[in-house]
Every structure is written in C-alpha cells, then in structure tokens.
Amino acid sequence: MVETDVVIVGAGPVGLFQVFELGLLGLRAHLVDAMPQAGGQCAELYPDKPIYDIPALPVCGARELIERLQQQIAPFAPQFHLGQTITALRARPDGRFELGTSTGLRLQCGAVVIAAGLGAFEPRRLALPAAAGFEGQALHYQVRDAVALAGQEIVIAGGGDSALDWALTLAETAAGVVLVHRSQKFKAAPASVARMHALCEAQRMQFLEGEIIGLEGTPPRLRALRVQTRAGLTTRIEAQQLLVFWGLHPRLGPIADWGLALEKHQIAVDTARFETSIPGVYAVGDINTYPGKKKLILSGFHEAALAAFAVKERLSPGEKVHLQYTTTSPLLHRRLHVQPDLAGLDVPD
C-alpha cells in the first residue's frame, strides 16, 4: 500500500501544475496516468504544436510546456505511476481514500484530485479492413515527429483544427499535402480555413471533398489512397503518409462508476473549492464543468490553485491556511530549494 497526501488522476499540464500548488502548501502527491509518459493529451496529440496563451511564454510547444512543468515541480519529488488507470475508489471510515489501479497498485490518501482531461480517449479510426496494417508506419492519428514527415507525400483527413493546423504546417516542408474532408463545411477556425484555400490557390497544397474508401500498398508501406468524391467519382491519390484527424471518443472510463455527479459526461464541481459531489474528491481542468467553464490550460491552472487550498484545509482541519507569496516567503523558498536575492525588495520585518 502506497500512502501519500494526495493522489492526482492525470499527468497532463493541469495535473502537473496541481503538484506545484500542493507542494507549496507542504503536501505530497502521487500521479496516476494511463499514458506511458507524462503530458496527457496535450503532449500525445500535438507535441510540437505551438501554444500562445501560456502567461509569460509568448510561444512554446506542448512538449516544451510539459518539460517546463516537470522542471517546476521537481523540488516536490512527485511520484509517477504511468501506463495504468485508477479502477477503484473507496472512501474509508476515517475520511481517507483507497484507490486501486489496473496493474494492482494500491494507494491510500487524504484527498483525490481528478485532472484527467477528456478522460480516457481513443481516436476515431479509419474504418477500412486494410487500415490496421498501416497504423504506426504510414497511418497516424497524431503527429509524434513532424520532422520525419518532411519531403513526403501526405494526405490529411479531417475538417477540424488539428487537421487544418497540421495541413498548414506540413505544407511548408512536405513534398505535397492533400486535405480530404467530406464537405466544404469545416469546424476549424475560419482564419485557418481561409489560409488553406489561399495555399490551394497558390498550388502549395490541395483540397479534395470526399471520403477515403481504399488504401493501396504493402503494409506497412503506403502507395496511394482511393477517394470517392461528392460527385460519386473515385480518385486515386499517391501518398506515403496518411494523417487522420477525426476527433476523439472521450470516455470517463472507470471514473463514471465512482458515484460522482455528472453533467454531459463531465464532473460537476463548485467554483470555490473545485470539489465534486464526493467530499475530498476534486476535479480540475477539462474534465470538470461549472457555469461559465472555459476549456483552457490557463483555466485549469487557476482551478488547481484553488483546489490546492481546499485540499490543505481538508487535511489540516482547524488550521488557518495562510496565503504566502513565493517572492518573499522563507517557508516557500525552503520548499522550492531556492535562495532568492532579496536585495532591493521591501520585505516586512
């Protein structure tokens, strides 16, 4: 049995930052994530995609963001349990919790924070008999290494932000890019759609309205695709790589069986403590919902800070939890293992 103060379900950006906020309050955390590495959907689906709305970072890739967060939480020595999911949650009579994972690990803690993003998720796959033979080599549902795609003939399927973003990005380095979507209506940002059409007019990429109906090649090497157009004609497109971005099947997985109050497959929380309907269980990031909820990494960071104070109050009943600042607090400096230069700061005696 592993004992700790808090178990965090999910090791994405918000789950990692939750470690930091808990650590500032002197609380130890263990993280459990189904992925084999930290980073969650952010790093798994678009590791090199630029992010522009992280405070003080004008631009950074998802992978870089995860690396920075891991560096930030290093002073608190969090323990990671990756490649496994929480399969059971039980409240003990003493107010603590026992959790079990898919690998047989058992944990005990005083509070649980669910930061599982969209929950367990799977990409919507290409429903063709031959597709499985190409997966991982020529057929991809996320881009792990954009550099490896340079100089290749690429077909991208989808009409959302991921499909358009990668089409625009890879058009700069690929030998050719063809975007295939079932209609002229896109879910992507209008600016991205406009830029895609501009690149098509400049003959730097192509757009084809239709459905993929066949793959040609000897797995795992892809030679071409067959696309049925809206007019009913079949077109053959030579391609070495196929990227399919048809979205995800979000699933709460075992979390749905924990007895939490749910709203449209999301966990309902209050906005003061980000506590769920089960006292001592909190939810932050994309997996929660409340009036005015915005699914932004920035919002998740804010939620993690407030949830940390709520957890501290729960684990230290009757003790006043003071707000301290990392700029001036000697206690926080010790927890962060830093010796800041206080020269020039107006620090009260």
What confidence score (pLDDT) does residue 145 get?
87
What confidence score (pLDDT) does residue 343 get?
45
Fold match, 2-121+249-336 / 125-246? yes
The domain made up of 2-121+249-336 is a member of CATH 3.50.50.60? yes
Residue 262 structure tokens: 């749910």
What confidence score (pLDDT) does residue 119 get?
63
**Residue 220: cis peptide before it, omega within 30 degrees of 0:** yes
Nearest alpha-carbon partner for 38 in 115, 103, 121? 115
Which residue blocks in 224-338 are alpha helix, DSSP H? 297-315, 330-336
Give all strands of the β-sheet with 206-218 in edge-to-edge order: 139-140, 241-244, 153-157, 176-181, 206-218, 221-229, 234-238
Residue 88 sits at φ, ψ, to 5 deg, of -150, 140
Residue with tokens 């030679």: 223
Which residue blocks in 189-296 are alpha helix, DSSP H? 190-201
CA atoms within 13 A on the CB side of 151: 2
d(CA 310, CA 315): 9
What confidence score (pLDDT) does residue 323 get?
93
What confidence score (pLDDT) does residue 262 get?
93
What confidence score (pLDDT) does residue 39 get?
87
What confidence score (pLDDT) does residue 156 get?
98
What confidence score (pLDDT) does residue 10 get?
94
Nearest alpha-carbon partner for 140 in 114, 111, 162, 160? 162
Q: pLDDT below 70 — which residues of the chain? A: 42-48, 119-122, 249-251, 340-349
Count CB-CB contacts under 10 A for residue 184.
10
Count CB-CB contacts under 10 A for residue 216.
14
What confidence score (pLDDT) does residue 73 get?
98
Residue 43 structure tokens: 């790093």
Residue 261 region by backbone torsions, left for phi larger than 0, else alpha for psi between -120 and 50, else beta: beta
d(CA 8, CA 29): 7
Classified by CATH at the fold level, domain 125-246 comes out as FAD/NAD(P)-binding domain (3.50.50)
The answer to whether the CB of 161 falls within 8 A of the CB of 244 is no
d(CA 336, CA 328): 12
The SS3 of residue 225 is strand
d(CA 31, CA 101): 12
Count CB-CB contacts under 10 A for residue 301.
20
d(CA 13, CA 266): 18
The answer to whether the CB of 17 falls within 8 A of the CB of 69 is yes
Eight-class DSSP state of 135: B
What confidence score (pLDDT) does residue 344 get?
47
Task: Give domain limits for the chain.
Answer: 2-121+249-336, 125-246
What confidence score (pLDDT) does residue 25 get?
98
Residue with tokens 């003959």: 203
